[in-house]
Amino acid sequence: MSETLVGRLRRHHGSHWGAFTAVVEEGRLVGVEPFAKDPAPSPLLGGLIDAVYAENRVRRPAIRKGWLEDGPGGRRERRGAEAFVPVSWDQALDLVAGELTRVRREHGNRAIFAGSYGWASAGKLHHPRTVQARFLNTIGGFVGQVHTYSMATAQALLPFILGSAQAAVGPVTGWDSIAQHCDLLVAFGGLPLRNDQVTTGGSGEHLGELWLRRALAGGMWVVNISPCRDDMPDFAQAEHLAPRPHSDSALMLGLAHTLAVEGRHDRAFLDRYCVGYPRFEAYLLGTSDGQPKDADWAAALCGIEAERIRALARRMAAGRTMLTATLALQRAEHGEQPFWMLITLAAMLGQIGLPGGGFGFGYSCVGGTGHPRTELRAPQLPTGANPVGDDIPVARIADMLLQPGEAYEFEGRQRAYPDIRLVYWCGGNPFHHHQDLNRLLRAWQRPETVIVHEPWWTATARHADIVLPATTTLERNDIGAGARDRFWLAMQQAIAPQGEARSDFDIFAGLARRLGTAETFTEGRSEMGWLRHLYDVARQQAAERRIVLPDFDGFWAAGHVEIAPPEQPYVQFGEFRADPVRHPLKTPSGRIEIFCETIARLGYADCPGHPRWLPPSEWLGAPAARRYPLHLLSSQPAARLHGQLDHTGISRAAKLRGRERILLSPQDAVARGIGEGDIVRVFNARGALLAAASVTDAMRPGVVQLPTGAWYDPAEPGQVGSLDKHGNPNMLTLDRGTSRLTQGPSAQTALVEVERHDGALPEVSAHSVPAGA
């Protein structure tokens, strides 16, 4: 250990859960103190010590026994079930470099798939997705992923409708504008403040609850439209409407119909700022298909009384109204429709571009959304160009591995899946965030080699051939900077790497030396040399905007840079509304495309030219509901970030009898003889899992909710169809693209049945270490 890490030390640091000071005694992390400027620090910070010193750290490079003995592809059907053999770093890196060389020589770089995910690290240098792309680009490129599981459908759709995906990725209209001007906030999916405690890239302040309380104090009224009442905090005293899952677009059509037939829509706004409203109105009023989409029609689909729908429409038109939808609404089959319909509904109200009005997506879905912030380019490691120039939609991994060469469509273009021989995963855990894990397991058996960098023995590491131990952020230096936060954070190394762990950057530097690209990859800079360089570049860019930041030494000593908020509240589409000629949208028309000719010409039945009600294959109004009568919603967890920290005490304490809790209504529990705390089997045709029942009147009858992130824990490792013992909802979710246009994940589309489990209870082993490791 370096002498600088001996004694009692305090190190500035940052994470997705917030900024903090790491307290170190004699080289061991003993405390985590929240950032003094954070008014509401996340309790998840308390899990960091557990995570760093977890028993299931990957401590040495390890090779799956079958791959080591038989070579690439050896006993690959045993991935997840076979023992590992520890090896030296030199042997491991030689094997990885040799395998990259073999695949490139025999199949080309298009046979390499580089999987990663942005939540693996808050740091900008040691960001696994970025550093992996930089390395692979130096050796000829790779097949990658585009968009994110969180908002893939919106990222693909919104550029057609609005010219960019900004309404989902941000910035959106600020909470300061909403607090000053909004009379009514209508929240489809609620405002789940549990999600506000995490922000990709790190955060210096958690303000979600503070801003909501300010808006409420100013007289704003809130309507929570969600099957789960708890998707809105109790202090909001919101009106609650609990529709059937997936019926949101039908409910919005019923609201729009009331506006249209009662003359409460803004014709002038629709004429000046939008195209295609008459085509949509013909559908809305039923003149094109004979079925008016009135409140009575909507009520039959969504289960909300027709008069409540009409009354809400009138209130929306009577004052300044902000419409929002959670990102979960577009993570479903036909997930384009509720987002497109929300835009159309806001356009009919005519308040887009006005302070506190219009629409925005994702408020409270991730920390910092809507918080006042001056947009400033953060430090960023350049990746260089990818010579392969190919990628797949983020959620189509199983399709790609199972169907090499098969044609598919995405964003209006014809494509074909590559024939992948090597999967290189650096950061992230697809056995957490991908749908239909049994299907993924079948797909995962296809590549010849799977390489994984990982600090812990996650399910993805356990299903790999070569596992390289990676450091956590506390074991290296970095810079954190969230896209929605006002702070840049010094992430100072607090402790020495555990076991033989190395940073992803150092791992790739070692591979680059073996493959002859070291100078291109490192540019001769050390870790601190890169951090100083990246900060200086970003500081110069800030200076060009007349924003003065301290030099690197001043930043590093202080531990953070605070960027002043803008003087005026930000209003999305404000410039467009003020002058649509000088500030057109980047659509073909320059306006909001309620009817999109570009999409219409594609002829997709699952995503036509204007928003519609398109019933998904699985919902409570589908024939499948007779066999599986409960709709499963997989929410973000309150006690961890996705699957991160699941192995720590803070996550385990939120479980019951070692299993994830599934929420169900008293009516559904009584009908099945289920009581509070019972272990239940949740199942459908795709798989089955065990969970602990939590009975609550916050859930709409017919709907159950199971948080994501319980580590995949099959009763029979490596076996397709095995029972998950721990409660991972992706055993049951639908792995189908949202539409041919966007190909997003359909995780919220899942019908299930629940029954009490009265048999022997298998031990949870998700956080154990595989044999040999």
Query: What is the rounded (10 degree) CA torsion for 534, 109, 60, 520?
Result: -30
Known active-site residue 604: no
Average pLDDT over residues 242-262: 98
Per-residue confidence (pLDDT) for residue 630, from 0 to 100:
98
In the predicted structure, residue 173 carries a pLDDT above the cut 70 = yes
Q: What are the strands of the beta sheet with 8-15, ordered from one edge?
A: 8-15, 18-25, 28-34
50: exposed, middle or buried (Cβ count in 10 Å: 0-12, 13-18, 19+): middle
Residue 294 has pLDDT above 50, yes or no: yes
Give 567-607 as a DSSP string. SS---TTHHHHH-TTTS--SSTTSSEESS-HHHHHHT-TTS
pLDDT tops 70 at residue 1: no
| 118 pLDDT tier (thresholds 50, 70, 90) | low
Residue among 747, 743, 730 at smallest CA distance from 152:
743
Q: Which residue has the higher pLDDT, 614 or 202?
A: 614
Q: Residue 116's pLDDT is what? A: 85
Cα–Cα distance for residue pair 64/465, rounded to 1 Å: 5
Share of the chain above pLDDT 70, in %: 99
The DSSP H or E segment spanning 213 is: helix 208-217
Q: Are 252 and 625 in contact (CB under 8 A)?
A: no
Nearest of 225, 260, 264, 266 to residue 242 by alpha carbon: 225
Catalytic option among 119, 211, 408, 711: 119
> Which pLDDT band, with edges at 50, 70 and 90, does 3 fall under?
very low
The total of other beta-carbon atoms located within 10 Å of residue 224's CB is 23
**Span 605-632, mean pLDDT?**
97
Report the alpha-carbon distance of residue 15 to residue 359 in Å, rounded: 30
- For the cut 60, the answer to whether the pLDDT of residue 2 exceeds it is no
pLDDT grade for 480, boundaries at 50, 70 and 90: very high
- Across the strands, what pairs with 488? 481, 561
Quick: pLDDT tens for 704-736: 999 999 999 999 999 999 999 999 999 999 999
Among the listed residues 17, 53, 89, 117, the single catalytic one is 117
Residues 6+ apart with CB under 8 A from 116: 128, 129, 132, 133, 145, 425, 426, 427, 428
pTM for the complete prediction?
A: 0.97
> Is pLDDT above 90 for 746?
yes
How confident is the model over 359-388, as pLDDT tens digits? 999 999 999 999 999 989 999 999 999 999
Averaged pLDDT for residues 40-44? 95
- Concerning whether 456 is annotated as a catalytic residue, the answer is no
C-alpha span between 338 and 247 (Å, rounded): 9
